Amino acid sequence: MARFHSLEVTDIRRDTRDAVVVTLKPEETEVDAFGFVQGQYLTFRRNFDGEELRRSYSICTGLDEGCLKVGIKRVDGGAFSTWANEELKVGDRLDAMAPMGRFFTELEPGAAKSYLGFAGGSGITPVLSIIKTVLAREPHSNFTLIYANRQTSSIMFREDLEDLKNRYLGRFSLIHILETESQEIDLFTGRIDAEKMEMLFRLWIDAEEVDTAFICGPEPMMLTIADSLRSHGLGDDQIRFELFASSQPGRTKNPVASKAVAAGSGTCEVSVTLDGTTRNFQMDKNGTSVLEAAVANAMDAPFACKAGVCSTCRARVIEGEVEMEVNHALEDYEVRAGYVLSCQCIPVSDKVVISYDE
Amino acid sequence: MTSEAILPQDDAMSLSDYLERGGKLTSPENVSPRYRGELLRLMSSFVDSELAGSAGFADAINWAPGLKERIAASRITLEKVDHAERVLDLMSEFGTDKTLYNKTHAWSARQPRDARIDPKRQGGDMRLSVFHYPLESWPDAVVMNTLMGMGTVYQLEEQALTSYQPLGEIFREILPREKRHMELGLEGLQHLVEDDATRAEVQTSVNYWLPRVAETFGPAQSDRFERMKKLGLRHTDNETLRAAWKADAEARLAELKLG
């Protein structure tokens, strides 16, 4: 199951003042694991002051470039992105999971499709991978990119995009929308809002021609664009979102950990009975579930969904106090009787006795 | 994509605002614990229903009166498992162990025909209650497949709009096949009502299955629906969907002179 692999940093190129493009190389034996589809991302992990941070960054290379690169834009206060921009160097190693994500459509070499892309800031990264791949693998398709940034100096992959324009003359069009810089055409200055979308549709984009639209950027921008696309007749199946994992409270680990810490930090002595055998081990009270700890201690504890839904991991707490994050499977009377879903069960007291056999 | 915020505060938007305004989530990394719980529950219910539906329908292959019917029943049995697997693959991205999951419940298990089953979930098995009732014969299987097939189409059309984009995509992909399953049922039904002997049996089955399929749409007043609506996982309430299905089902039954 554990899915992190070590990648070697073979190149770091500064793209803008606060963004780098990092080239990564998997081990010979793990090359297959890093085969990717355009538009996918890598999730990295690293310890910062004893706390593991996981961050996802999109791959910016196309399928035919034969290498793996991610774009990392530095964010104020962002530990991982600041570290990657300031301290990461060639020869370092990074832990990453195999590529994931579904921000793509199937390639059809014989098709003549019209794609429309909207990117805001570093949202360009997966879109760039898609543009490069689609233009190379679908010789009859075309791509129009609307790319929003604050100013010229903050445009990521500016030169790469210019190169693509030259290489795919007539098949790739690029419109830069700059928030704080006036341009020859008023339409291209400011933010992408409903009014600007109307103008774009009136003057530059033929909505009826569009097969698929890709959007990656800040949430409000994505909603505005999606609303506008829908009102111009595009169906949900033609609109592909890629959300910044950014401001979303996606990581259950931290809040849980802090709760657990507040309740009594340190470690917990756990005793688990399974199939008539009892095993004792110690686990950190850092938000890890009893199930994860039991599996880590080589117990064959039962589980299936790991989301508090299926109840395969049901166990009974004989002694001690635990907290259950999510419970969709147990009835109230079962909870009163001391049953828990061990995949959702975080120790609170310093000692916990649990049985899967009851 | 970058997973650290790239924007100043004025661009920040809460997850709930984003979802209420029709935003989509795209990977396990963007979901909150509550969202994850509701989403996994929705997916589990679908997977369990498809697996249980397929397992129950497998018997119908051997009841089928002719080759054409046998092929239709085999196809339905096969494709429903395939649909379950597609969603189970998505659940795997959240940590679900696919192999173990398949072994969790006895998908072909059924309650007695005259049991009164609470439409709420039965233990850890998340299948819709209608899939706890046994099929009895070929006409019975055809009636159930047609009525529930119509229900499934209404339910999937609604859930294809779900805020979890990868799931919406899968539902859109399988919708035409689920529609075809329902149409195969209708064709079978047309054939069965031509004969007076089987017509009576069909009518008995219709009377049996109609209220049981109606229950799968869930309670008219549902806190869960409201919760899921806020998360963009659902859009049309249970009663509206049930009424639409019922009107459609009654019209089609009337065409066949069934009540």
Cβ atoms of A309 and B40 within 8 Å: the answer is yes
pLDDT at A257: 35
CATH classification at residue B148: 1.20.1260.10
- CB contact, 8 Å: A166 with chain B? no
Q: What is the 3-state secondary structure (H, E, C) of chain B?
A: CECCCCCCHHHCCCHHHHHHCCCCECCHHHCCHHHHHHHHHHHHHHHHHHHHHHHHHHHHHHHCCCHHHHHHHHHHHHHHHHHHHHHHHHHHCCCCCHHHHHHHCCCCCCCCCCCCCCCCCECCECCCHHHHCCCCCHHHHHHHHHHHHHHHHHHHHHHCCCCEHHHHHHHHHHHHHHHHHHHHHHHHHHHHHCCHHHHHHHHHHHHHHHHHHHHCCCCCCCHHHHHHHHCCCCCCCHHHHHHHHHHHHHHHHHHCCCC
A8/A90 same-domain check: yes
A260/A348 same-domain check: yes
B residues 12..71 contacting A (CB < 8 A) = 12-15, 18, 21-34, 36-37, 40-41, 44
Does the residue B171 lie in any domain?
yes
Walk along chain B (259 residues) and give the pLDDT tens digit of each residue: 555 444 433 456 788 888 988 899 988 877 877 788 789 889 989 999 999 999 999 999 999 999 999 999 999 999 999 999 999 999 988 878 788 788 878 899 999 999 998 887 656 678 999 999 999 999 999 999 999 999 999 999 999 999 999 999 999 999 999 999 999 999 999 999 999 989 999 999 999 999 999 999 999 988 889 989 999 999 999 999 999 999 999 999 999 999 7
Does the residue B21 lie in any domain?
no
Does the residue B187 lie in any domain?
yes
User: Nearest residue on chain B to A123, judged by CA atoms?
Assistant: B1
A239/A128 same-domain check: yes
Give me the total of CB pairs closer than 8 Å, taking one residue from chain A and one from chain B.
Answer: 183
**Strands laid side by side in the A339-341 sheet:** A277-284, A267-274, A351-355, A314-319, A339-341
A292/A328 same-domain check: yes
Does the residue B242 lie in any domain?
yes
Does the residue B62 lie in any domain?
yes
Does the residue A295 lie in any domain?
yes
B residues 165..204 contacting A (CB < 8 A) = 165-166, 168-169, 172
A193/A167 same-domain check: yes
Q: How confident is the model at residue A261 (pLDDT cuts 50, 70, 90)?
A: very low
* Residue A244: pLDDT over 70: no
Look at A102 and B27 and tell me if their CB atoms are within 8 Å. yes
Does the residue B15 lie in any domain?
no
pLDDT at A43: 85
A226/A281 same-domain check: no
Give how many domains chain B has, as a whole number. Answer: 1
A262/A175 same-domain check: no
A43/A15 same-domain check: yes
A206 contacts: CB under 8 Å, gap ≥ 6: none
The residue segments making up the domain with residue A23 are: 4-97
* Residue A1: pLDDT over 70: no
Burial class of residue A52 in the structure, from the number of CB atoms within 10 Å of its CB (0-12 exposed, 13-18 middle, 19+ buried):
exposed
Look at B40 and A308 and tell me if their CB atoms are within 8 Å. yes
Query: Based on C-alpha coordinates, what's the Rg of chain A?
Result: 24
| Between residues A49 and A35, the one the model is more confident about | A35
Residues of chain B with Cβ-Cβ distance to A310 below 8 Å are: 44, 96, 101, 104, 124, 126
Of A88-102, A316-330, B65-79, the one with minimum mean pLDDT is A316-330
pLDDT at A247: 35
| Between residues A129 and A335, the one the model is more confident about | A129
pLDDT at A16: 95
% residues pLDDT > 70 (chain A): 92
A260/A233 same-domain check: no
Does the residue A105 lie in any domain?
no
**Interstrand relation of A93-97 and A68-73 (parallel, antiparallel or unpaired):** unpaired
Residues of chain B with Cβ-Cβ distance to A151 below 8 Å are: none
pLDDT at A26: 95
A residues 172..231 contacting B (CB < 8 A) = 216, 218-223, 226-227
The residue segments making up the domain with residue B171 are: 28-110+124-255
Does the residue B2 lie in any domain?
no
Task: Tell me if the pTM is above 0.80.
Answer: no
Q: Supply the DSSP symbol for A76.
A: T
A214/A260 same-domain check: no
Q: What is the pLDDT of residues A136-194, one digit of tens each?
A: 999 999 999 999 999 999 999 999 999 999 999 999 999 999 998 887 788 889 999 99
Best residue in A219, A229, A300, A324 to probe B by mutation, most B CBs within 10 Å? A219
* Residue A248: pLDDT over 80: no
Q: How confident is the model at residue A260 (pLDDT cuts 50, 70, 90)?
A: very low
pLDDT at B123: 62
Over residues A52-73, the mean pLDDT reads 92
* Residue A331: pLDDT over 80: no
| Between residues A299 and B169, the one the model is more confident about | B169
A91/A121 same-domain check: no
Cβ atoms of A268 and A350 within 8 Å: the answer is yes
Cβ atoms of B73 and B149 within 8 Å: the answer is no
| Between residues A312 and B57, the one the model is more confident about | B57
A74/A146 same-domain check: no
Residues of chain A with Cβ-Cβ distance to B18 below 8 Å are: 219, 223
Look at A326 and B100 and tell me if their CB atoms are within 8 Å. no
Residues of chain B with Cβ-Cβ distance to A247 below 8 Å are: 5, 12-15
Look at A243 and B23 and tell me if their CB atoms are within 8 Å. yes
Does the residue B115 lie in any domain?
no
pLDDT, chain A, mean:
87
Residues of chain A with Cβ-Cβ distance to B14 below 8 Å are: 247
Give how many domains chain A has, as a whole number. Answer: 3
* Residue A238: pLDDT over 90: yes
CATH classification at residue A227: 3.40.50.80
pLDDT at A181: 83
